[in-house]
Chain A
């Protein structure tokens, strides 16, 4: 397995208490990269949603599954992969649906997580439906943070 400079891999059990640990690790990683504060909180939110989806849907409350978060950098992208080894989620769960302000009668709790992931990241690719679990690759274009390898 090749490792690039800045790569970080974190494996947690599907215990919802550990989401705070994953958020903390991601937050520190982005601080070190010098990502601007606003985008840091957005990225933490979206990645937390991806991990929470693995816990809620793929493991359905089981707390001994594996959730893995891989953080990586290319000159152009920040790339974050979240994967699990739980029950494959149906394809419609990962479909892109734009966020619109709901009418009052349409207000229903839930269903927001995947929308937030699409809202925050520039590229989102789900590879669900395999017997080995689910995986989502989220990519954010780098914008000159750290003065390193960016076009603007």
Chain B
């Protein structure tokens, strides 16, 4: 179960598109992509989670780290079109209201 991560840094908002399972094995790859993209982004970072089939607490921790890093760098950080698996774990963790969530642009 691999994860596929694409980063599009061309616009105002850097968009990180994630597909597949985000778990203990794959979350380090997402963490690297997010923490690299945040400082370089023009003003905003969006993480498109529409294609995420599974996310565990290490994936949630990665998103929390991304949000913190964005706050430190003065960038906005949003979750884009999160799949039902992502919303489920965020709700269980009581973190769904911590993130800015929007539908696909």
Q: Which residue of A lies closest to B61 (CB)?
A: A109
- The answer to whether A52 and B23 touch across the interface, beta carbons within 8 angstroms, is yes
Chain B's interface size range is: 20 to 34
- The answer to whether A99 and B92 touch across the interface, beta carbons within 8 angstroms, is yes
> Is B67's beta carbon under 8 Å from chain A?
yes
Instruction: Give the complex CA separation of A108 and B60 in angstroms.
Output: 10
Q: Which residue of A lies closest to B21 (CB)?
A: A20
- The answer to whether A20 and B1 touch across the interface, beta carbons within 8 angstroms, is yes
> Is B68's beta carbon under 8 Å from chain A?
yes
Q: Do A99 and B89 form a contact, CB below 8 Å, given A45-B56, A52-B58, A107-B67?
A: no
Residues of A within 8 A of B56 (CB): 45, 48-49, 52, 113
Q: How many residues of A contact B (CB 8 A)?
A: 29
- What 1/0 flags go to B48-66 for Cβ under 8 Å of A? 0000001011101110110
> Is A75's beta carbon under 8 Å from chain B?
no
> Is B103's beta carbon under 8 Å from chain A?
no
- The answer to whether B57 and A49 touch across the interface, beta carbons within 8 angstroms, is yes
Q: A107-B64, A119-B92 are in contact. List 10 more A-B contacts (CB 8 A).
A: A16-B25, A100-B94, A101-B95, A101-B97, A109-B68, A110-B57, A112-B60, A113-B56, A115-B93, A116-B57
- Those 6 A-B pairs whose CB atoms lie nearest each other, nearest first: A109-B61, A20-B1, A16-B25, A112-B57, A101-B94, A52-B24
* Interface, chain A (partner B; CB < 8 A): 16-17, 19-20, 23, 41-42, 44-45, 48-49, 52, 55-56, 99-102, 104, 107-110, 112-113, 115-116, 119-120
* Interface, chain B (partner A; CB < 8 A): 1, 21, 23-25, 54, 56-58, 60-62, 64-65, 67-68, 85, 88-89, 92-95, 97-98
